Amino acid sequence: MSVLKITKSNYEKEVLNSEKPVLIDFWANWCMPCRMLGPIIDEISEKREDVKICKIDIDEEMELAQKFQVMSIPTLVYIKSGREEKRIVGVRPKEEIEEIIK
């Protein structure tokens, strides 16, 4: 499954009402650590059909970044049944990210 871009217009449908758990990567194109994390997120999305992997560009979707109180990027937020379950900030190894989405 490919990484899904989340915007204000599809947030409710794709995140809050998702039947699958959702992992959101809050990022920005100018953020070097975010760009380092990108290939890891892509790799996870290709292997995992049971979790919806999404990205929110904080520059394009400031309102969503504020809603989640994202203070630094990259920030990964794991959501299950519309509620935040876990959060990690910064570049992390693939194994650590996979651990939070078990």
Q: Which residues are catalytic?
A: 31, 34
Cβ contact 89:83 at 8 Å: no
Give, as one character, the DSSP assignment of residue 35: H
Four-CA torsion 47, 101, 19, 24, nearest 10 degrees: -90
For 81, left (φ over 0), alpha (ψ -120 to 50), or beta? left
Cβ contact 79:85 at 8 Å: yes
